[in-house]
A and B are shown apart, each in its own frame.
Chain A
Amino acid sequence: MTALVWSAKPYEPPTPNDFNLPPVGGDAHSATFDFLGESFYSGVTKPMLQLVLAAILVFGFFFLASRKRLMVPSKLQYVGEEAYGFVRNSMGRDIIGSHDFQRFVPYLFALFFFVFLNNFFATIPFLQFPTMSRAGMVYSLALLSWLVYNGVGVAKHGFLGYLKLQSVPAGVSGPILGLLIPLEFLSNILVRPVTLALRLFCNMFAGHLLLILFALGGQHLVTELGGAYVGVGILAWVMFIAVAILEVLIQFLQAYVFVLLNAMYIAGALADEH
């Protein structure tokens, strides 16, 4: 058995570099460029194509579902209406409030299905790569939501009024304000978009890394080590399937939390003075 172990290829654990895919049609030796001390491939990569595919699929599905609006809905129209109603009621109306939620429903609705489909690409065969496990994708979404919630807040309260709303907590007076105002400003204006982006990114990244680990580790145990290790390798593959099913739940939950927090930030920016 020891001889078997020594003759096997050394095991290479998966690393964050496994997420740096070469461009479509290229290989690992394609041209790269350096940005902030990291090396990236220049060219069109799979996550970029998945972004476009997700946008086309979301638009196409809801265009078809809402094309013929009948009093007695067809099956497709029913599914589309249920999906729309879910975002509109549970994230728009219940969080932002019935007074002015309606102008944010298109943004929240498009964002939810775009993010969910991009996460779900991790499970679809042949694609099997979560777009949001590339940090740049989530940074741009978080920047968009930062602009939206700060924009509506400034538009409603004015610049100074909005800063006061976000950084002066209600019902506090005296010297403790000197401690709380910088903290609230840091938390509400600067840290929010970062945690919003990193929450989605880290969940997709860690989940996919776990799947790679189970798949490659099981493969190494079965094909390279053999013998008694085959049973452990098959157990790793069973765990792969279990974790893949858990991942579908997490993909939905993270899209839900991402859009729910967007709605909460908008609701907080629109709130009246206490």
Chain B
Amino acid sequence: MATLTPARAVTLNALALGAVALVLAAAFAAQLVLHELPCPLCLLQRIMFALLAIGPILNIRFGPRPSHYALSLLVAVAGAVVSTRQVLLHIMPGDPGYGTALLGYHYYTWALIGFVAAIVLIAVILLFDAQFAPAPAAGGVARMAVWLVIGLVALNVLSTLLECGFAACADNPAVYELLKRGP
């Protein structure tokens, strides 16, 4: 079996952060370009994707450890449960689904595929024991990937605050609550 050195494992984790950033950015792009506000379950799936990044960040900072991968596995299973619930909400024939489909699937279906893919990929990476040795300090690309994900989550804080305001989020949001003009 090929050797996955600690340095290569850190690079893989930086790539994983890039994948999480891509998912969060794509969701943001759909929100801004299509003017479709995320529903509560959609927001929870975004949050789960963001939480998925904690394991890779810890791996880059402290070196690869099985416990860090376990965190991501827990989050991926929880994320799959959330997205499965939303898929089932729209499973009936004739249901148009929530939001616009991208390449034939809605965001929550892509999310379910993403979470299941994460579970499989993490399990495969855990097969390589050689990575669990002291790792070198993270390089510039890995550090940039960490700050990119943190920046995207910070943007989501702002966006969700604008969307929901200081009350519970609407089931089918149509306007940003904090940008709404008074009567």
Q: Do A and B come from one complex?
A: no
